[in-house]
Amino acid sequence: MVKLTINGIELEAPQGELIVETVKRLGLEIPVFCYHPRMKAVGMCRMCLVETGFKQPDGSVRMMPKPQAGCTLPASEGLVVVTDSEAIHRDRKGVLEFLLINHPLDCPICDRGGECPLQNNTMAYGPSTTRFIEMKRHLPKAFPLSQYVTLDLERCIQCGRCVRFTEEISGDSDLAFRFRGAEMQPSTFQLTDFESRFSGNVIEICPVGALTSAKYRFRARPWDLETSPGVCTECSNGCNVWFDHRAGKQVRINGRANDGVNEEWTCDKGKFGHDWYNSTSRLTKPLVRRGDQFVPASWSEAYEEILAAFADKGGKVAGLTGPRVSNEGLFLFKRLFSEAFGSDNVDHRWRSGPVPTGPVPRPLPIASLESKRHILVFGTHLAEDLPIVHLRVRKAWSQSGATVDVAYSAANEVERFAKASLRCRPGAEAALAKCLLGEAVWSGKATVSDAVRAELAGFNADSAEEKSGVSGATVRAAAARLGEGAVVLTSDRLLDAPEPPSAWKSLKALAEATGSEFVCYPTGTNAAGAELLGLVPDHGLSTWQILEGCKDGKIEALWLVEADPSSTHDAALETVPFLVYQGTLENEAMAYASVVLPMAAPAEQDGTWTNCEGRVQRFRQAIAPPGEAKPAWRVFAECLLRARPSTPFFNPGEVMEEIARVHPVFAPAQYSLLPEEGALVARESLVGEPAGGGG
């Protein structure tokens, strides 16, 4: 810590901390444009100018002759900073006057109007009138950089935030500054599409209206919107977002800060993938089949039909859920089948490989990846399956000096910064894992049992190219980098590869034998919650066995919740005598259904979801569900109440209290205790060791 003085106030700050951050301790502000706390400081815009000096041995202060940029000035012993003086006011006014010379001043039609840093800084620090009377520059308007991002070059102040984001954070370097001087502009190379998986972030960090959302343009003004905190449910990362809505309709998604999960970033799938909320295909009313037609029905009529087909039928009925159902809904779905229907045939896993069972070590918190010495990404397309985990792995490499190896059968984004790419032949993942383990064993780096050694006969670096297509030297080097402080990271995508039990066991054994950590993140939105809540058959049938049972007559009634297996198992849906489809949107499975139930989407209900690292987060209701749609937990609770009368659950908070009683691991997730950033609850793996039973 060092002592310094800011505006006459003495304080301590970490040595080297940037002054733009230090002044926040005093509740003060230094205006910025180019500076962003999660990117390297560059001092381009000069908006953050401050007067500085140093205390001398005799107690006097010697001021520097010119102002300094607060975003690049580190805190040091004896530093004196003045952020509020007549000279600084004059400098800031001059900077803004230059920035506004060619700015189009089209705030009334700019999507950034009302939430624009340039607008705000001009009002607070800028000139009241302009001295510029010449013609402003004119450039092409609304140039599409991609299907999501639109560039209005007249508004650009050349702060470089967008370019630096693609270089420092996403790592794809899709944007760069072309030309120089007044002609300088952010652009893609050779004017190709801006194809980054994280392109939507540049819209949010742009301090003016130069980069805007093609999906949001002219749809609303900031003061027209209601903004609710939410959790993205498009994948298992559980990114924190702001859910903007207007008149009951979803309008846009912005990133919300949570240092434990997504920092403040989003992927394009999460930022632009919520249009389905406003789809005309939303289910709004219960439907029951009468002959060849669906007819609208009341909820009571729908429940009567369902109970007649499911109640007390035991192993002849089954239920399958999709990934987007809340913890509360999953818990009551399991209870409904066990207590009212007498069936253990419930499952949530849709991977083609054998179903995972049995515990392995607790999954690593996403943020902890930054502190690892080495990361081996194996058998998963990280940027596609777990985009925010991908950003953390890249940050570990770029900011913490971690080395990264990637083993996958196709080109992927991790290869851009990996120390080595072990690109194997498709389907050779199991062989590659055994070669890595064999090399670690035969080189003396790892110790395994005699039984495992026998299985590894013929698998080592020398045979790797023949068995997997990866050179022996690459395998040898990759195995050598494993050890204490290293992580072997995969996802449940590995279960889609041929011989998943072999690949899984070899990978897990590789981590254990070398002293590395092993983590397998689930990719389904709430797959982690489903695992922790036991939404797997203890003694019943797994997903593929249930679908096969529908075809051969063992299953007489099937309940699908936000799931559609029609593309792979349409014969099962066509054959089963009674099918319930419960979901948010119309789909192909509806064509075979006997009863259709409309379900509220995540933003239309209060509930919790568990992300891939085992963090339970609450999503409070932001908008009303369409028509008569209900949250999944309420549907199951009402059905259970009709089948087994008891004290009902009146709200999802009561359901979570019951979850915590039955599954104590969820105790920190009770609504009265759950912090805004969520609570890590998983004590054991969310994906376990594979066993038989896959399809």
> What's the pLDDT at 361?
54
The angle that helices 461-468 and 429-442 make with each other, rounded to 10 degrees, is: 170
> What's the pLDDT at 634?
97
- The residue type at 358: G
Instruction: Give the pair of three-digit tokens for residue 226.
Output: 């209601």
CATH hierarchy code of domain 287-354+527-689: 3.40.50.740
Q: Which helix (H) or strand (E) holds 609?
A: strand 607-610
Give the mean pLDDT of 658-672: 96
**Residue 310, Cβ neighbours under 10 Å: how many?**
26
Higher confidence at residue 302 or residue 499?
302
In whole angstroms, how far apart are CA 321 and each of 77, 540, 564, 596? 60, 15, 9, 15
- Report how far residue 12's alpha carbon sits from residue 214's, in angstroms, rounded to the nearest whole number: 45
**Residue pair 377/407 in contact by the 8 Å Cβ criterion:** yes
Higher confidence at residue 682 or residue 530?
530
Higher confidence at residue 638 or residue 690?
638
pLDDT at position 173 over 90: yes
- Report how far residue 70's alpha carbon sits from residue 50's, in angstroms, rounded to the nearest whole number: 6
pLDDT at position 694 over 50: no
**Residue 106, Cβ neighbours under 10 Å: how many?**
13
Q: What is the dihedral of CA 41, 47, 49, 50, to 10 degrees?
A: -110
**Residue pair 162/286 in contact by the 8 Å Cβ criterion:** no
Query: If you average pLDDT over every residue of the chain, what do you get?
Result: 92
- Report how far residue 536's alpha carbon sits from residue 334's, in angstroms, rounded to the nearest whole number: 9
Instruction: Give the pair of three-digit tokens for residue 637.
Output: 């609770």
CATH class of segment(s) 2-98? alpha beta
Percent of the chain with pLDDT over 90: 83
pLDDT at position 586 over 60: yes
Give the mean pLDDT of 112-119: 94
HEC letters along 428-476: CHHHHHHHHHHHHHHCCCCCCCHHHHHHCCCCCHHHHHHHHCCCHHHHH
> What's the pLDDT at 444?
87
Domain boundaries, the chain: 2-98, 100-213, 287-354+527-689, 358-521
**Residue 442, Cβ neighbours under 10 Å: how many?**
16
Give the mean pLDDT of 474-498: 91
Domain 100-213 has CATH 3.40.50.460: no
46-78: per-residue pLDDT in tens? 999 999 999 988 888 899 999 999 999 999 999
pLDDT at position 688 over 70: no
Radius of gyration of the chain (CA): 29
- Report how far residue 244's alpha carbon sits from residue 282's, in angstroms, rounded to the nearest whole number: 19
pLDDT at position 297 over 80: yes
pLDDT band of 611, cuts 50, 70, 90? very high
Give the mean pLDDT of 189-210: 93
521-544: per-residue pLDDT in tens? 999 999 999 999 999 888 889 999
Q: What single string gives the DSSP state of each residue in 311-363?
A: TT-GGGEEEEE-TT--HHHHHHHHHIIIIII----EE----SSPPEES--SPP
**Residue 478, Cβ neighbours under 10 Å: how many?**
29
pLDDT at position 692 over 50: no
Q: What single string gives the DSSP state of each residue in 145-179?
A: SSSSEEE-GGG-----HHHHHHHHTS----EEEES
pLDDT at position 143 over 80: yes
pLDDT band of 695, cuts 50, 70, 90? very low
**Which residues is 13 bridged to in the sheet?**
2
pLDDT at position 151 over 60: yes
pLDDT at position 683 over 80: no
pLDDT at position 693 over 50: no
In whole angstroms, how far apart are CA 473 and each of 145, 467, 581? 42, 14, 53
pLDDT at position 411 over 80: yes
Helix boundaries (H) for 169-293: 201-205, 268-272
Give the mean pLDDT of 296-322: 95
pLDDT band of 567, cuts 50, 70, 90? confident
Whose CA is closest to 326, among 542, 586, 601? 601
Query: Which range is least confidently modeled, 17-31, 40-54, 360-374, 508-522?
Result: 360-374
Give the mean pLDDT of 213-231: 94
Residues written for the chain: 695
Give the mean pLDDT of 193-213: 95
Give the mean pLDDT of 573-595: 95
Q: What single string gives the DSSP state of each residue in 127-139?
A: -SS----SPPP--
**Residue 188, Cβ neighbours under 10 Å: how many?**
19
CATH hierarchy code of domain 358-521: 3.40.228.10
